[in-house]
Amino acid sequence: MRKFPLSLLSVAVLVATDTWANDGEPTVMLGHEVITISKEAGKYVAITPNSLKDDSPLYETAQSVSVLTPQQVEQKQASTVAELLENVAGVSSGVQGRRGWDDFIIRGQVSSNQMYVDGMRVQMSSNNLRAWDIAGADSIEVVKGTTTTGYGMALPSGIVNITSKRPDSETFAKGKVTVGSFNNKEFAYDLNYAPNDSKKGAFRLNGRFSDRDDATDHVFFKDNYIAPSYTFDLGDKTDLTLLGSYQWREYLRQQGLPHNNTINAKGEKTVRNAHEKYASSTFFGLPQNIDKQNTLRLGYDFAHVLNDNIKLKSIFAYTKTDTDGNPTLATGYNKFYENGQITRQVNTQDKNDTMITMDNRLEAYFDTGSFNHELTVGLDLLREKSSYVITRANANEKFDANAPDYTYTGTGKVSKTRDWLTRTQYAGLYAKDNIRYNDWIFGAGVRHDWASTEQADGLTAKTTKASDTAWTGNVSAMYDYQGKFAPYVSVGTSFLQNTDIGADGKTLDPETGQNREIGVKFQGFDKRLQGYVSAYDITRKNVAETVYDDKGEAQNYSALVGEQRTKGIELETALVLNNQWNISGSYTHTPTAKITKSTTTADIGKRISQIPKHSASVSTQYHFSPDRLGWYVGGGIRYQGERTAWRGTSFMDLPAYTVLDVKAGYEAKNWGLGLAVKNLTDKDYLIGTTPNAQLISYGEPRNIRATLTFEY
């Protein structure tokens, strides 16, 4: 019989304050059943995710979920969320280049605005994308397929959720100093004070300062981040944690280079590859035109246990992001392949987003005959206010890649081209039940959303309003074979209100979608092995895209381009072989990623931009001593298959590439020294293009990082 103590499984594993078995591993009492969980599995291999709004283990979840645990996050020594997602099955990250925000594609769908922190949505629009500082991330999860039952409006491809670091039960002080290629300088800290040797009454402060240049001339990224959190001591049955963070950033983004490749309506290609004539470090923008972004986030996480079978939970977040952007855009480069010249345009982008979110839910555990239920009923609310103003000036000097000149007198014509104020709000009522009957696990969920949006256009003095409601849901079935293999099947639907305005000045119809999935979860070696194999089929309808003119310039309206469909197979696994050796790997095969319906007839049947048919990765780390002190080595291989970026008449065939990463280091009790090299062979490769497919971005060349850590 599955009672409420199971819902405390994840807490018991992380805190490790329960009883200990003879072999020194943490154990959790579940009625008359004892489950033993390896300490190493709790660090490197995820047992229970944080993103599902219930307490089901990964193995019992009829959905593909990738979890980067705290140890995996630490071992990857990444600088951005996009870097951390490089090895995740079904995900392509950073394809737009190093432009100052996290961009990623999940299961063939651009999902950069499908970002959540602590289960709370960060933004609805794509106007003000961010780069969340990984110094505050305890773990990162990618929930694939439809998530609308628990999260409301979202794409059918999936979401990314970051779990923030919170007060711990031990007092410690950790620090990390990193120096490396491209003048990389970084200092990170993590301080925790637990006066009661418990999370109750504990305070934690973590943060990071980083300053680095780039392989592209003049490009740089400065990041400052601080995140305090405090957990109140309100007794054994009540938990309340206050969370805050503040991030301020300055950067000059990588712009890429024109390639001048075109394709006509008959499919005939003209290949020029103009970017190959010039160094990959070429920067055509203005070094003085930097972007500045500040993000404040405040919230709480509250839970109260009513009895052994019922728990209440409430989460709240307030997020405010202000961005002062000054990018230099390329507006004319059709002859770049002949003369190396680019007509530039200076943009001033004033973006201000305020997001308020709340989720209140009840979790109940009960039996009906031989059926064990884990029922979650909740109500979540969202309100976003987004301001987006663009002022443009035509630069009076052309950029010449043969003789770069970065002066600008600022005498070009200035005009305001966009002045939008968008207000979005929705409420969602949801219920889902995980039902266990002997070795069968059934899932069912239903949700009803009420959504409204209002957009005021300051240029036309017009206000556009739209309201939508939708029912979505999911069903699944899984069979648990002796706790080793669990085949499953699931079907889910999705709904996402469009906030974009069409050419007629009206709000576009909402998106809908469906995800069908079959798969097998597997685990072994005392849960030190976790993984899955899945096959999915996604249909996304009423897809909206920004309209670009012949110069590649974004217009003030969008269009519904029709319907997209992706089919694929994913394999992902993580294994702790012993106290010395861990390994993880993934493989993705996406044979189908195509446009099935479109207002542009010529686009029907085309493969979705920048989606490879094959991608794979393997990473590992080995400690020479069983106590994990002393020397260690590690490394990884990333493979991305060939793909094509395209939009309208512009296209770029992107070759496949394989990148090798290595690292080594020494760990003592209170300090450590490590050396990591990304792209060991200094391979020259193309990572992707801008959304209009007209500017190509190079992957990062060899990057060496040396890190000194300490812990007390």
- Give me the phi and psi of 44, to 5 degrees please: -100, -40
Please report where in the chains the tokens 């934690």 appear, as a residue: 204
pLDDT band with cut points at 50, 70 and 90 for residue 708: very high
Q: Which amino acid makes up residue 154?
A: A
Cα–Cα distances (Å) from 26 to 23, 668, 712, in that order, read 9, 25, 24
Q: Decide which of 512 and 344 is more confident.
A: 512
Q: Has residue 49 got a pLDDT over 70?
A: yes
Cα–Cα distances (Å) from 599 to 265, 544, 684, in that order, read 14, 11, 38
- Give me the phi and psi of 84, to 5 degrees please: -65, -30
Rounded CA-CA distance 241/247 in Å is 20
User: Which residues lie closer than 8 Å to 286 by C-beta, 6 or more apart?
Assistant: 328, 344, 346, 395, 406, 408
Q: Picking from 104-118, 244-258, 267-281, 326-340, which range would have the lowest pLDDT averaged per residue?
A: 326-340
Tens digit of each residue's pLDDT (9 = 90 or more) over 314-330: 999 999 999 998 888 88
Torsion of CA 406, 408, 414, 419, to 10 degrees: 40
Tokens of 37: 């969980």
Asked whether 546 and 556 are in contact (CB, 8 A), the reply is no
Q: Where are the beta strands (DSSP E) in 253-290?
A: 257-258, 262-263, 269-270
> What pLDDT score does 589 carry?
98
* Model pTM score: 0.90
Rounded CA-CA distance 695/198 in Å is 53
Q: Has residue 711 got a pLDDT over 70?
A: yes
3-state secondary structure of 606: coil
Segment 674-703 mean pLDDT:
94
> What pLDDT score does 305 carry?
96
Rounded CA-CA distance 693/611 in Å is 13
3-state secondary structure of 649: coil
Beta strands 581-597 and 554-576 are: antiparallel
Query: Nearest-CA neighbor of 385 among 419, 421, 343?
Result: 421
Asked whether 284 and 301 are in contact (CB, 8 A), the reply is no
Asked whether 139 and 117 are in contact (CB, 8 A), the reply is no
**How far is C-alpha 380 from the chain's CA centre?**
21
**How far is C-alpha 463 from the chain's CA centre?**
32
Tens digit of each residue's pLDDT (9 = 90 or more) over 278-299: 999 999 988 988 999 999 999 9
Tens digit of each residue's pLDDT (9 = 90 or more) over 494-536: 999 887 777 777 777 889 999 999 999 999 998 999 999 999 9
CA atoms within 13 A on the CB side of 568: 29
pLDDT band with cut points at 50, 70 and 90 for residue 656: very high
Please report where in the chains the tokens 């103009």 appear, as a residue: 274
Rounded CA-CA distance 611/607 in Å is 8
Identify the CATH number of the domain defined by range 38-711. 2.40.170.20
User: What percent of the chain clears pLDDT 90, i.e. is strictly above it?
Assistant: 67
Rounded CA-CA distance 62/145 in Å is 11
CA dihedral for 124, 224, 137, 673, sign (positive or negative): positive
3-state secondary structure of 15: helix
Rounded CA-CA distance 36/27 in Å is 5
Structural domain boundaries in the chain: 1-37, 38-711
Query: Nearest-CA neighbor of 534 among 564, 565, 567?
Result: 567
Tokens of 94: 């950073």
Query: Nearest-CA neighbor of 41 among 52, 54, 28?
Result: 28
Rounded CA-CA distance 96/255 in Å is 9
Element holding 83 (H helix, E strand): helix 81-84
Tokens of 23: 């072999």
> What pLDDT score does 7 carry?
34
pLDDT band with cut points at 50, 70 and 90 for residue 692: confident
